[in-house]
Amino acid sequence: MSDLTASVLETKNGFHVDGYEKISYDFTFLDGVFDTKNRQLAECYQKWGRVLAVTDMNVYNMYGQQMEKYFEHYNLDLKVHKTKIGEKAKTIPTFLSIVDSMTEFGIYRKEPVLVVGGGLVTDVAGFACAAYRRNTNFIRVPTTVIGLIDASVSIKVAVNYGNYKNRLGAYHAPMHTFLDFTFLRSLPVAQIRNGFAELIKISSCSHLATFDLLDKYCEQLIDTGFGRVDGAPNEVRSAADKINREGIHEMLKLETPNLHEIGLDRVIAYGHTWSPLHELVPETPLRHGHAISIDMAYSATLANSRKLLSDDEHHRLLRLFSRAGLSMDHPQFDEDILDKGTQAILKTRDGKLRAAVPNPLGSCTFLNDVSLDELHAALRRHKEIMKEYPRNGEGLEAFVDASDTGYTENNEQEVEALEAAAAKAGNLNGSMNGNGVVHGGHVVNGHADGVNGHTNGVAEKLANGSAKGLTNGVNGFTNGAKA
């Protein structure tokens, strides 16, 4: 929510305006946000008597009935916009499909849209709210690690454009964010690992005590959904709760003085110098956590080369990435991508590199005076160091799959409908096995078989379909395939 105060002064040739906008919003830790015993979320909608929710198919298939029962219990009419969302569907057509639902619903300007999902969903739906009548309220319920501890902290909302992440967007604060870590019980391990990277980011540059906890409990945190799965040790659950709360608090302290990024030296931009370009370069995009981990690991090697990070700290950081199964290198992270990423980020950061690096571990320095020769030398050294680590520094489940892309989701009826639509359009290339969109129609935890599931089948064609493609369920895919 925002309040604006301003002054207008006459000048010799016109007027001078000073405007000051107060931005206020709340975070509530609440296990069981859709438990009927917890009325906090419902109270936000009592005034309106109804709710427009935006969520993704995976979340709805798992929690949709619970959501419906919750709002029915409080006599609130619920309409749900279900979207298939992922990095390649984090686009203007997806954004417009949400806008269409807001229009059909007849949303009032101050009536909050409920956004339930991971960081991709909250980004796109938040951008739709920012654009709709220039300022429509929304409430966030993030459901992934990245959504809970990173995307929920910022007021940035956006869609991708071309090969660049978040190129079109806005700064738009939600009214309220409910942080329910019980969602992590159902989150695939690959997504837990993906979000773990964001906690390494903030702790290695700003909160050493949290880094120490991540280092101590790394594998247990990932395997137990941050202590939320049944049977998780109390010690791990306690450590996880401390990590999450401290991590969010630290990011809020860093972000809130600079919500609109007027200051461009940002500690939380560690790992975000070259990754915005590199993340979408592979034919199958990297998961966000893996992309920033490559950036962070390389940046740490650059800092170590400058003696800003000791050898012990450097390898301690790299070992944590490796133990977590996060990527530290990739064949396409090369000098050409480094050069292109540098040129792109210089435009974003007003002509300066402003590369955040740990110096020492738990603190941060920004590098501006780095030549391309130095960057290339650090990259060559980094790739040599990676030979000492498992998988030559490549990560586990590093690439997006069906749980990220939104091309398929954990509902076999939808999968079968997609197969039929694609077959009718003649885009199956004779087979659905191997690296096609779906392998025998089998989906586990929202993941289609085969890491490259969406690249060699119908999905690439769908991505360039009509404006209805990729956005409106099965019919969206049919329209996209026919285009």
What pLDDT was estimated at residue 403?
57
Amino acid type, 374: E
End-to-end CA distance of the chain: 41
- Span 341-398, pLDDT tens digits: 999 999 999 999 999 999 999 999 999 999 999 999 999 999 999 999 999 999 999 9
By the 10 Å C-beta count (0-12 exposed, 13-18 middle, 19+ buried), 165 is classed as buried
Sign, CA torsion 368/371/376/378 = negative
pTM for the complete prediction?
Answer: 0.79
pLDDT tens, position by position, 37-52: 999 999 999 999 999 9
pLDDT of 16 higher than 80: yes
Going by their DSSP bridges, the two strands 50-56 and 77-83 should be labelled as: parallel
Average pLDDT, the chain: 84
**pLDDT tens across 35-90, in order?**
999 999 999 999 999 999 999 999 999 999 999 999 999 999 999 999 987 777 88
Question: CA 233, CA 282: separation in Å to the nearest integer?
Answer: 38
CB 131 within 8 A of CB 170: yes
Q: Partners of 115 in the beta sheet? A: 54, 140
pLDDT band of 283, cuts 50, 70, 90:
confident
The answer to whether the CB of 333 falls within 8 A of the CB of 294 is yes
pLDDT tier for residue 151 given thresholds of 50, 70 and 90 = confident
* pLDDT (mean) for 144-156: 90
CB-CB contact of 119 with 289 (8 Å)? no
Q: List, edge to edge, every strand of the sheet that includes 77-83.
A: 26-29, 176-179, 138-142, 113-117, 50-56, 77-83
